[in-house]
Structure 1
Amino acid sequence: MITLEEDVGDSVEIHCSRERSRAAWKIIEEYLTPFVEKERYQISRNCRLQPDNDLYRDQEQHKVHIDINEWKCGYCKKRFYEENFLDKHFDNRHRNLLNVSHSKCLADVCGALHCDLVMDTPKKIKCNPAAAARNKHLCESLADSCFPVSKDPSASRLHEFFLRQFCDAHTCTGNQKPFSRGRKKRMNMLYVVVSILIMLLLLLFYTFIYLYQRGMKRGTQNLRRVSLSGRKKKPF
């Protein structure tokens, strides 16, 4: 839920956890999106997991990670040492770019998506049955709205997948684990480019070795011929 409050300076304060929203998006990207793409299914805007519904999606896409300790704002090109400082910069300088009226707080579905598993938060010792029931209900409602079983076979398959992947683990019995269907990471373009370059370098290296050895062999044969020719011409 996005809560708005008026500050003293007439600016609007937004209450939506950026960190938990980012955790939810990471889970969606790794544990849901590859399977949705495999089915070639288009998630509608009615689904809260649809990228356009994420309040911070545009800002997250305008983050440029240059190096381990260097981040750049894609809007104004200002640089920062840590991602946390860039987040604060977005809040202070580019808050007006947030589409508050048509976007939703992705952190609100963190309970359903098991965000605590990908965040550095202390592990809960005791399971709360009431909280587990609430999260399961939210999870099942996401499955119904994002993948209506009556829409088509792909939606029906993804609905079943979503229940097994996320919802079944909302129990205090401990029998089911989150993300039981695993994840399928999409091929990274940088990985593809680096792999091709390595293959080309290996090809050049072995070609050089082959030509070098071939040249050495020819040189040895020529020396032998010269040596034999000299012996034949030597007078007794």
Structure 2
Amino acid sequence: MGNYFLIAFLLLCFSPSPNWIQASSPGQSQDLEDCTHIRKNQQHEHANEVHCSRERSRAAWKVIDEYLMPFVEKEKYQISNKCRLHPDNDMFRDQELHKINHDVNEWRCGYCKKSFYAEKYIDKHFDNRHYHLLNATEGNCLAYLCGALHCDLVMDLQPRKTKCNPASAVRNRHLCETLADTCFPVTGGLSASRLHEFFLHQFCNAHSCSGGQKPFSRGGKTRTNAFYVVISVLVLMLLPLFYGFVYLYQRGLKMSTQDLRRISRAGRKKKPS
């Protein structure tokens, strides 16, 4: 009898539509309810699954923001939304903009104001609670462009020392040149033509096993070093104190000199006979 219930339970769990089986006892009814709940949870998790790396998409946007956008803004060029580098074509962009980072260990969700201790936890929160806000349409995964944009260089503290793969280099260079042609067509005007040439030098030419040109050879966004900022503030604060000390020292030295002169003159007076 026990084997019968076991077989019935397995059939309930794995059948395409368990509603056609009518439970004949309270125990079987509970088993049916549990199986249905498990299957609904599995379907919900599968529906929320996104085959796009948030971390690598974030790295790709960091490369775009630091090593491309300053030059695009300098040329006053408007990137078309058909370009895969456009902010609208990043499925995580809106969520990333709703991250509020108050401190190293304090992250806040801009949607529901919930706080987290680390960025990885707010990423999980976005995946679980705000999945419906993702722009998860086809072609909106910036992580797919990481090969062309050299994302590994901004994800690691030091560049990886791996043997160059010629086939991978050719594939990444082709993707890179396709981005240059689509986003900055040479027929799109003088600014587009200049940015096309810049993009090839900045990203594409480094995809070679010859070890010639390095990525980001044209530089990137100018960042103010925090150390120099602190030093500058300290210097500005200490300069008035320094000049004040020098002024008081010179004033005291002058007064001492005058006193010595008075004493010297008084000592030179002749005593009455």
Looking at structure 2, the residues matched to 58 and 78 of structure 1 have their Cα atoms a distance apart, in angstroms, of 17
Of all paired residues, the percent bearing the same amino acid is: 49
Looking at structure 2, the residues matched to 234 and 80 of structure 1 have their Cα atoms a distance apart, in angstroms, of 89
**Structure of larger gyration radius:** 2
**Which residue number corresponds to residue 161 of structure 1?**
198
Range with bigger deviation, 140-149 or 23-32: 23-32
Provide the alpha-carbon RMSD of the alignment: 3.3
The correspondence of residues 77-156 of structure 1 with structure 2, limited to 5 A, is 77-101=113-137, 104-120=140-156, 123-129=161-167, 131-156=168-193
Secondary structure of residue in 2 paired with 1:150: helix
Q: CA deviation at 1:232?
A: 7.8
Distance 1:102 1:145, change over 3 A: same
Looking at structure 2, the residues matched to 229 and 94 of structure 1 have their Cα atoms a distance apart, in angstroms, of 90
Looking at structure 1, the residues matched to 88 and 226 of structure 2 have their Cα atoms a distance apart, in angstroms, of 25
Q: Which runs of 5+ in 2 are unaligned?
A: 1-40
Distance 1:81 1:180, change over 3 A: closer
Secondary structure of residue in 2 paired with 1:144: helix
Kindly tell me the number of residue pairs found equivalent between the two proteins: 228
Contact 2:84 2:139 in 1 (8 A): no
Distance 1:167 1:7, change over 3 A: farther
| Higher share in strand | 1
Looking at structure 2, the residues matched to 54 and 211 of structure 1 have their Cα atoms a distance apart, in angstroms, of 61
Of 210, 218, 230, the residue aligned with 2:246 is 210
What is the TM-score when the length of structure 2 is the normalising length? 0.68
| Higher share in helix | 2
**Which residue number corresponds to residue 3 of structure 2?**
none
Contact 1:139 1:166 in 2 (8 A): yes
**Which residue number corresponds to residue 44 of structure 2?**
9
Secondary structure of residue in 1 paired with 2:49: strand
Contact 1:114 1:178 in 2 (8 A): no
CA deviation vs aligned residue, 1:43-75 (integer Å, no higher than 9, x gap): 22222112232222232233344444x131241
Secondary structure of residue in 2 paired with 1:8: helix
